Structure 1
Amino acid sequence: MNPKEFKKIAVIGASENEQKYGNKIVRDLRSKGFEVFPVNPKGVTVDGIKSFTTIEQLPRDTELLVFVIPPERGLEELQKAVSFGFRRFWFQPGAGSKEIESFLKSTDSEYSIGKCIMIETSF
């Protein structure tokens, strides 16, 4: 899967803390021209954008969901995302697990686990 093909990307685990990857990824993708939708249950503001508090709130035309959360939470959020019809997922290093990959293989989803989206979207 080539993330450069997408325009609308959600970051699950976006953070208002500029030192965290959930913030760095939002800023990096925006600087590369992607439309980014931060998701954080606290409704924080990330790089000037108010975050969505749940995956359910995301626009249905969001093309890729990037996970920057621990795998234990990631599996539950992934299952919700699939139930809402999302089918393209990116798990940053440390966000994936064997359980997540096993679940993804049981769906008709496209996914990447363990690669950094900031590197993969470098032009």
Structure 2
Amino acid sequence: MGKEDFQKVKVWAVVGATADEEKYGYKVFAHLIQKGYTVYPISLKYDFIGERKAYTSLYELPEKPDAVNLIVNPKAGMEAIQDCARLGIQKVWIQPGAESPEILEYAEQNGIEAVQGCVLREWP
């Protein structure tokens, strides 16, 4: 399994999505939408990002995402990957700045395929 497998999924959640168009939390969210995916923003700060309703956790989503993109600090990322394990989400993409050895170890121990890198650079 590799990063190319993530391109085949249909539904994403972006943990750390933001309405601030200058930040990567917005750029990655918008990029995935532009690529044709169904994308749910997860944000503690915003009720809407663009015209899309934002959710405060993965548990609130109307459907289970096929993959989750983490754009948060490692502490919040650890909480999010634990939620992924509980919800049976098996693909997590970790953006630069969100990675940590603990997150990768947790993913491996819980059968989650976790990859690191920047979606913006790797999927032009």
TM-score by length of 1: 0.90
SS in structure 1 at match of 2:65:
coil
1:14/1:40 contact within 8 Å kept: yes
1:26 aligned residue: 29
1:67/1:90 contact within 8 Å kept: yes
> In the alignment, which of 36, 39, 43 is matched to residue 40 of structure 1?
43
Is 2:61 the counterpart of 1:58? yes
2:33/2:39 contact within 8 Å kept: yes
2:18/2:46 contact within 8 Å kept: no
- Residue 76 of structure 1: how far off its partner (Å): 1.4
1:16/1:44 contact within 8 Å kept: no
Partner amino acid for 1:51?
A
Is 2:122 the counterpart of 1:120? yes
Identity of matched residues, %: 30
Is 2:15 the counterpart of 1:15? no
User: Which structure 1 segments of 5+ residues have no match?
Assistant: none
Alignment size in residue pairs: 121
Partner amino acid for 1:112?
V
User: Which structure 2 segments of 5+ residues have no match?
Assistant: none
Q: Distance in 2 between matches of 1:7 and 1:120?
A: 18
Partner amino acid for 1:117?
V
Q: Distance in 2 between matches of 1:91 and 1:59?
A: 23
Structure 1 residue ranges (4+ consecutive) displaced by more than 6 angstroms after TM superposition: none
